[in-house]
């Protein structure tokens, strides 16, 4: 059996944290079996390497490995993507098509963001897991497949079950064994190690000397909350590597790259002030409202375009029923960003995309209508931004540095905005 160390090297995994080692060890242990695995952990912790390790160390390694991002596929097409469809199963199904479960027979399927699967798809998935059976969309013939499933999620599955967004039976079937990856803030020892690795990678990539942190900057790096985990750390290392002329990075410089939004470790000066933290909450709420408005507008825009181009409003209505439900029935702000992403895809059923394009290019009126909405949306976003910046500057008696830190943007960006809005 390959050692944890060897696997880390082979898959480019950096770190020596015991929890990370345990996760890799578990992956090695379960690889030769066909047990379904659920990989859990916050966004950006490195979940994607686990199914790769499992596949490569299994007897399926010569079979196919297919990674499916369940959150990125529109609800209307996901069954057909996963299980295939018969010719004529729906408008636009001109050919019989094999789904991933047929193609990956003898291999592994990685279901990323599995918590996003629609409930109807969950039923089909449960059946495959239970007896390897599935039915193509529009068919009545039961087919067999031999696929190993590794799933991943960064959402709390118990919450999802409680809210009846995820089937409990499927959850237990998927998570026979759970492999949890620790958040970066729980792996303090690895933070600087990872940063140095990324700094040296980016120095090579951009042909510049490697950046180096001062001792205080290292301390700040360790104190920070890293809500975006390794992905965020990597981005910060990249930005600094590209933008800073002085290759020795002080804590002050590093600070300008670390957003201080809600939940992050704010520098002491901001943390101590009650009124400022109130403002930070206010800002967070405003952001949520803004995102909310933007997403609703996008969806309404798309719906309207569809209604305009389709003579058959009732058909469109049916197609968008779940979408509308999602927009107006969703009162949970915590998973809001995900909703924004997948709504933008959901709004246009795949077989309608070309129709929408036609509308946009053929009818000037309709095109202008869409532009107007876009413009209004941009204007109201600008108003809110302007308001936030003004408030923050007032609060800090015009001190840009403090205002920028509070707004979670760099001083440079704030300076640009001040000029832009002529403040």
- Euclidean distance between CA atoms 98 and 202, whole angstroms: 41
Q: Is 277 exposed, middle or buried (0-12, 13-18, 19+ CB in 10 A)?
A: middle
The CA distances from residue 111 to 58, 86, 107, 171, in Å, are 17, 23, 13, 13
| 44 lies in the binding site for ligand ATP (CB under 6 A) | yes
Taking CB within 5 to 8 Å according to partner kind, which of ligand ATP, Mg ion, none is near residue 55? none
Q: How far is the CB of 421 from ligand ATP (least distance, A)?
A: 34
End-to-end Cα separation, the chain, in angstroms: 65
Report what 43 binds from ligand ATP, Mg ion, none; CB cut-off 5-8 Å by kind: ligand ATP
By C-beta, is 171 or 279 nearer to ligand ATP?
171
Selected binder of ligand ATP within 4, 13, 199, 236 (CB under 6 A): 13
- Please state whether beta strands 248-249 and 133-135 pair in parallel, antiparallel, or not at all (unpaired): unpaired
326 binds, among ligand ATP, Mg ion, none (CB under 5 to 8 A by kind): none
Token pair of 36 as six digits: 């379904």
Note whether 12 and 201 are within 8 A (CB): no
Question: Binding to ligand ATP by residue 115, rule CB under 6 A?
Answer: no
Return the range that interacts with ligand ATP (CB under 6 A); candidates 11-19, 237-245, 304-312, 338-346.
11-19
Task: Please tell me the distance from the alpha carbon of residue 63 to that of residue 356, in angstroms, as a whole number.
Answer: 39
- 171 or 198: whose CB is closer to ligand ATP? 198
Decide: is 230 part of the binding site for ligand ATP (CB under 6 A).
yes
- Smallest distance, Å, CB 165 to ligand ATP? 17
Nearer to ligand ATP, 116 or 319 (CB): 116
Per CB under 6 A, 46 contacts ligand ATP: yes
Rounded to 5 degrees, what are φ and ψ at 111? -95, 95
Q: State in angstroms the smallest separation of the CB of 2 from ligand ATP.
A: 17
Q: Out of Mg ion, ligand ATP, none, which partner does residue 76 contact, by CB within 5 to 8 A per kind?
A: none
**CA 71 distance to own-chain centroid:** 8
Q: Rounded to an integer, what distance in angstroms lies between the CA atom of residue 323 and that of residue 306?
A: 13
The residues, any chain, with a CB within 8 Å of residue 406's CB and separated by 6 or more, are 260, 270, 276, 279, 280, 283, 392, 395, 396
> How near is the Cβ of 160 to ligand ATP at its closest, in Å?
15
Q: In this complex, which beta carbon is closest to Mg ion, that of residue 15 or of residue 46? A: 46
CB of 116 to Mg ion, least distance (A): 12
Continuous H helices in 211-320: 215-223, 229-243, 251-255, 268-271, 274-309, 313-319
Nearest CB to ligand ATP, comparing residues 154 and 410: 154
Using left for φ > 0, alpha for ψ between -120 and 50, and beta otherwise, residue 226 falls in: left
Among 52, 64, 196, 231, binds ligand ATP (CB under 6 A): 231
Q: Helix, strand, or coil here: 96? A: coil
Tokens representing residue 55 in the block: 């596949």
* Residue 48 near ligand ATP by CB under 6 A: yes
Count of residues near ligand ATP by CB under 6 A: 16
CB 261 within 8 A of CB 224: no
- Would you say 110 or 134 has its CB closer to ligand ATP? 110
CB of 268 to ligand ATP, least distance (A): 29
Choice from 45, 53, 149, 266 touching ligand ATP (CB under 6 A):
45
Lookup: tokens for 2: 């390959």
Query: By CB under 6 A, what part of segment 150-169 binds ligand ATP?
Result: 154
Contact status: 14 vs ligand ATP (CB under 6 A)? yes
Stretch that binds ligand ATP, among 60-68, 229-237, 376-384, 390-398 (CB under 6 A): 229-237
């Amino acid at each position: 059996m390959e050692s944890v160390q060897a696997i880390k090297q082979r898959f480019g995994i950096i770190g020596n944290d015991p929890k990370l080692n345990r996760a890799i060890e578990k992956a090695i242990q379960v690889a030769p079996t066909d047990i379904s695995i659920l990989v859990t952990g916050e966004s950006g912790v490195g979940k994607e390497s686990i199914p790769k390790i499992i596949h490569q160390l299994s007897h399926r390694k010569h079979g196919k490995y297919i990674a499916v991002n369940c959150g990125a596929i529109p609800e209307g097409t996901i069954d057909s993507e996963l299980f295939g469809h018969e010719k004529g199963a729906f408008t636009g199904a001109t050919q019989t098509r094999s789904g991933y479960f047929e193609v990956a027979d003898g291999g592994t399927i990685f279901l990323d963001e599995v918590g996003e699967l629609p409930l109807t798809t969950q039923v089909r998935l449960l059946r495959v897991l239970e007896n390897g059976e599935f039915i193509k969309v529009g068919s009545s013939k039961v087919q067999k497949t031999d696929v190993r499933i590794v799933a991943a999620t960064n959402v709390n599955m118990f919450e999802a079950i409680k809210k009846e967004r995820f089937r409990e039976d499927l959850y237990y079937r998927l998570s026979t064994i759970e492999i949890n990856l620790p958040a970066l803030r729980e792996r303090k020892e690895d933070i600087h190690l990872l940063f140095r690795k990324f700094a040296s990678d980016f120095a090579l990539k951009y042909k510049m000397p490697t950046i180096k942190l001062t001792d205080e900057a290292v301390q700040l790096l360790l104190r920070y909350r890293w809500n975006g985990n390794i992905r965020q750390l990597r981005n910060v290392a990249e930005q600094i590597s590209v933008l800073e002329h002085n290759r020795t990075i002080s804590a002050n410089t590093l600070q300008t790259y670390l957003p201080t939004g809600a939940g992050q470790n704010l520098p002491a000066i901001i943390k101590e002030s009650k009124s400022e933290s109130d403002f930070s909450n206010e800002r967070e709420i405003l952001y949520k409202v803004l995102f909310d408005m933007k997403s609703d507008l996008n969806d309404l825009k798309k719906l309207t375009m569809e209604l305009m181009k389709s003579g058959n409003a009732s058909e469109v209505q049916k197609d968008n029923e779940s979408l509308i439900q999602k927009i107006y029935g969703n009162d949970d702000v915590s998973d809001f960003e995900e909703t924004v992403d997948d709504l933008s895809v959901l709004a246009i059923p795949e077989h309608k995309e070309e129709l929408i394009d036609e509308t946009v290019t053929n009818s000037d009126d309709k095109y202008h209508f869409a532009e107007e909405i876009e413009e209004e949306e941009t204007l109201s976003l600008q108003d809110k931004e302007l308001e936030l910046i003004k408030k923050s500057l007032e609060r800090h008696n015009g001190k840009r540095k403090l205002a920028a830190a509070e707004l979670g943007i760099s001083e440079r960006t704030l300076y640009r905005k001040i000029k832009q809005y002529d403040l």
